[in-house]
Amino acid sequence: MASELTDIDIALRDGDHSAFDTVVERHRRELQVHCYRMLGSLQDAEDMVQESFLRAWANRTAYEGRSSFRAWLYRIATNACLDLIRRRQRVVSFDPQGDAPAEVGWLQPFPDAMLPGPDDPAAATVARETIELAYITAIQHLPPRQRAVLILRDAIGWSAKETADLLEMSVAAVNSALQRGRATLGERARSREERTTSWQPSAEERRLLAHFMEATERADMTAMAALLKEDAVFWMPPDPGVFVGRKLIIESWTPFLTGPARIGDFKMVPTRCNNQLAAANYLRAPGEGDYARLSLDVLRIEDGAIAEIVTFPASVFDDFGLPDRL
C-alpha cells in the first residue's frame, strides 16, 4: 500500500500523466468486470472504464485521500455507468407468459482471459455465480442504483457504509435496496460463503462440452437432444425471442443442420467466458473450402445436462482472439 500511495502522490502532485496511467492500469481488469456487471455489455464496459480514467485524470485534484484510491476509481466508474444507463434508457424484454427469462438484447460475453488472474488481489471479486450470463442477465432488470448496491455489496463485498459513501446514500437506504435486489434475484443472490471463487470445469462438464461439439459437427440431433435438460433455454442476443424446452429447441435447429435446407458443415473450437464453457461455431457453406466464423455458444450446465445455451454473433470473436477462418 505504501508504494502505491507514493505512486499516487507523485501522479497527483506532479500531474505526471505517465505515472497516473501506471497507477490506474492496475485496476483496469476489476473495473471492467464492475462496469460489465452494471451494463451487461463488454463494449460498453470497456468504454466506461476508459471514460472513468479520463474523468479521474481531469478531476485528480479532487482526490483527497479520505478513501482508498481504488474506492475513488470505483465511485467514478459507477457514476459513469449510471450516467450511461440514464442516457440509453434500454428496456429489458419480458415474456408475458412468464415461461422464459427476461431478454437483454445488448448482452455480450466476457472472455475468461480478461478476468483478473488468480494472483490478482481482485480475483475474489469474480466469483463464478456473479459473472455467469444468467446472473448478468438477471441484474439488468434491477433499477440502476439498486443494481449498483447489489454489485458493490454482494459481488465485490463492500460494507453497507462503504457502499453508502460511494453512492451518496444512507446506510438504511443501501440496506433496503440490497434486500429488494436479493429478493428479485431469488436463488441467484447467494451469500459470499456459498460462492465459487476459483472455478475450473469438472471432468463431467468438459465431457459434456465435447459431446455437444461432436453432436453439432455430426448434425446428430438425437445425440444433441440427449444433452439438453427437458426445460432447457436457448436464445440469441441481440435477436428477440427465447426458445424454452428441449423439443422446441431441437425443432428450431433441425432445418439448419440436417436435410436439404442445411446451411453447411460445422467445426467447433472450445473456449471460455463468464466462467462458463463455450464453443465457437465455424461454418463451411456448400462448395466452400474453409470454415468461416459463425457464432459463439455459451453453455450453462446443471445436474449433468445443458440447461441454457446463449448464442452470440460472430462479431464477438475478436474479443476472444479467435481466427476468422479455419
Confirm if 160 and 171 have CB atoms less than 8 A apart.
yes
Whether residue 238 is preceded by a cis peptide bond, meaning omega within 30 degrees of 0, is yes
Single out the residue of 79, 70, 30 nearest to residue 52, CA to CA.
Answer: 79
**167 and 309 inside one domain:** no
The CATH number that applies at residue 67 is 1.20.140.160
Q: What is the pLDDT along the chain (326 residues), one digit of tens a residue?
A: 444 556 776 677 667 788 889 889 999 999 999 999 999 999 999 999 999 999 999 998 888 777 888 999 999 999 999 999 999 877 665 554 445 556 788 999 999 999 988 778 788 778 888 899 999 999 998 999 999 999 999 999 999 999 999 999 999 999 999 999 999 888 777 656 555 656 789 999 999 999 999 999 999 999 999 999 999 999 999 998 899 999 999 999 999 899 888 899 999 999 999 999 999 999 999 888 999 999 999 999 999 999 999 999 999 999 999 999 99
Question: If DSSP codes are grouped into helix, strand and coil, which group holds residue 66?
Answer: coil
Q: Under 8 Å CB-to-CB from 29, ≥6 apart: which residues? A: 114, 115, 116, 120, 122
Rounded Cα gap, residues 42 and 30, in angstroms: 13
**Mutual angle of helices 2-14 and 17-25, in 10-degree steps:** 140
**94 and 237 inside one domain:** no
**291 and 183 inside one domain:** no
Helix (H) or strand (E) holding 294: strand 292-302
Burial category of 286 from C-beta neighbours within 10 Å (exposed 0-12, middle 13-18, buried 19 and up): exposed
Domain boundaries, position 309: 203-320
List Cα–Cα distances, 221 to 33, 244, 247, 283, in angstroms: 36, 17, 11, 17
Kindly state whether residue 325 falls inside one of the protein's structural domains: no
Joined grid coordinates for residue 71: 474506492
**286 and 307 inside one domain:** yes
**Cα dihedral 108/116/57/37 (nearest 10):** 40
Contacts of residues 73-77 at CB distance under 8 Å and 24 or more positions apart, as own/partner, are 73/24, 73/27, 73/31, 74/31, 74/34, 74/152, 74/156, 74/166, 75/166, 76/52, 77/31, 77/34, 77/35, 77/48, 77/49, 77/52
Q: At 67, phi and psi to the nearest 5?
A: -125, 175
The pLDDT assigned to 191 comes to 57
**43 and 167 inside one domain:** yes
**187 and 217 inside one domain:** no
The pLDDT assigned to 96 comes to 46
Q: Cα 20 vs. chain centroid, distance in angstroms? A: 28
Number of domains in the chain: 2
Of the candidates 169, 194, 219, which is a domain's last residue? Answer: 194
